[in-house]
Amino acid sequence: MRPSGESGPAGFRPTAKHPLAIDTDQPTRDGDFLRIENLVFGYPERTIINGVSMTFRRGAVIGLMGGSGSGKTTILKLIGGQLHPRSGRIVFDGQTVDSRDRTGLYALRRRMGMLFQFGALFTDMTVFENVAFPLREHTSLSDELIRTLVLMKLEAVGLRGAAPLRPSQMSGGMARRVALARATVLDPPLLMYDEPFAGLDPLSLGTIAALIRSLNDALGATSIMVTHDIDESLRICDYVYVLGNGGVIAGEGTPDQMRATTDPFLRQFLFGASDGPVAFHYPAEPLAEALGLASPAPPASDTRGRDVLERPR
Ligand SMILES: Nc1ncnc2c1ncn2[C@@H]1O[C@H](COP(=O)(O)OP(=O)(O)OP(=O)(O)O)[C@@H](O)[C@H]1O
Ligand SMILES: [Mg+2]
């Protein structure tokens, strides 16, 4: 007869709690796992995020896009409590993120896996030790259990055989997969990826993208993916937010809604027209003036550029 429940073989009781299990069964609102409400953040000299609201449904992979410097990494840091908002709040599974509450933050971070933008592995540690690091830091599991968990995570990213290697002995794509294994080793309910595809060839990029989706679904997690890769983002995400100029949301929607958008800013951003609402040039004095090739008095039209480029006949 098939054993069931408490009478099952030791270690295989379906009701037994996983040693790393976290109670995530209390959604903040129906299905919302993470919520950002009217967030404002800035440095003394400049406001970066200027009234942003977003919701992140449990189980979804959400893309966060926007031009360089639009505040994507800043938003991830605010979610992780590394930065403190001027106003507004972030509610993570019913709990307001408070960067001043060190104890609360430590517990919260245990439930967030983060792949950093310049996602460095510890170069003086092996692949195995890199992935084991969060377990040693946040749990008191036995070495044997740690070994099992690390090997399982490395297996999931196809790199169990690379466990004894050092980061310097791996390609960039392999290192990124190890970083993925490390970010997910605590089975966190929230995963944040900052530019997970940067510098990868198309094949490695596809592998990482597929892993992000499958790890999310296998863990029943919620993932936020910051990326400049629009095709990949629209392929694997359930929902996308685009940050625009001035620290506000320029658009949001499902991949299908994004593809069908008629908004000029979004069309330029998503489909790469070089001209449009987003200026190519950062504001500056005219080039000719900067190079000392023309008189400083501004002309009524843009004839100055032509003066320089077209030689008098
Ligand atoms: N410590 C800091 N002090 C002052 N300004 C900062 C600081 N850190 C970041 N910024 C500014 O905040 C803005 C947003 O930075 P952020 O790193 O969030 O951009 P991003 O959208 O992630 O860009 P990228 O796509 O290039 O990574 C930038 O203009 C940046 O110069
Ligand atoms: Mg960034």
* Residue 275 domain-assigned (yes or no): no
pLDDT attached to residue 202: 86
> 47 C-alpha vs ligand 1 centroid, how far in Å?
11
Whether 57 has a pLDDT exceeding 90, the answer reads: yes
More confident residue, 68 or 273: 68
Whose tokens are 């008629």? That residue is 262
pLDDT, greater one: 15 or 64: 64
Whether 9 has a pLDDT exceeding 80, the answer reads no
| Residue 175 CB neighbours (<10 A) | 21
Ligand 1 atom nearest 243 alpha carbon: 21
| 152 part of a folded domain | yes
Is it the case that residue 258 has pLDDT exceeding 80? Answer: yes
> By residue range, what is the domain housing residue 206?
32-264
Is 65 contained in some domain? yes
Q: Which residue, by CA, sits nearest to atom 13 of ligand 1?
A: 69
Residue 7, in any domain of the structure: no
User: In this structure, is residue 293 part of a structural domain?
Assistant: no
> In the predicted model, is pLDDT for residue 294 greater than 80?
no
Q: What is the mean pLDDT of residues 89-95?
A: 93
Percent of the chain with pLDDT over 70: 80
The ligand 1 site (C-beta within 6 Å) comprises 43, 48, 66, 68-74, 117
pLDDT band of residue 305 (cuts 50, 70, 90) is very low
Q: Which residue reads 């009217």 in tokens?
A: 38
Average of per-residue pLDDT across 53-70: 94
Please name which of 259, 271, 262 lies closest in space to residue 234, comparing C-alpha atoms.
259
Ligand 1 midpoint to CA 216 (Å): 27
CA separation (Å) from 141 to 15, 126, 151, 284?
A: 20, 20, 15, 57
Residues in CB range of 182: below 8 A, 6 or more apart? 121, 130, 131, 133, 134, 153
The answer, as to whether pTM is greater than 0.75, is yes
Cα(73) to ligand 2 centroid in Å equals 4
21 domain-assigned: no
Residue carrying structure tokens 């910051």: 226
Rounded to whole angstroms, the Cα distance separating 66 from 246 reads 11
Q: Say which CATH number the domain at 76 has.
A: 3.40.50.300
Please give the tally of structural domains in the chain: 1
pLDDT of residue 277: 59
- Is 270 a member of any domain? no
Question: What is the pLDDT, as a whole number, of residue 253?
Answer: 95
Locate the DSSP E strands across 111-238: 112-115, 190-194, 222-226
Least reliable range by pLDDT among 15-19, 30-34, 104-108? 15-19
**How remote is the CA of residue 85 from the centroid of ligand 2, in Å?**
17
- Res. 269 pLDDT band, cuts 50 70 90: confident
- 3 located within any domain: no
Between 234 and 298, where is the model more confident? 234
Ligand 1 test: best mutation among 39, 40, 43, 249, most atoms within 8 Å of CB?
Answer: 43
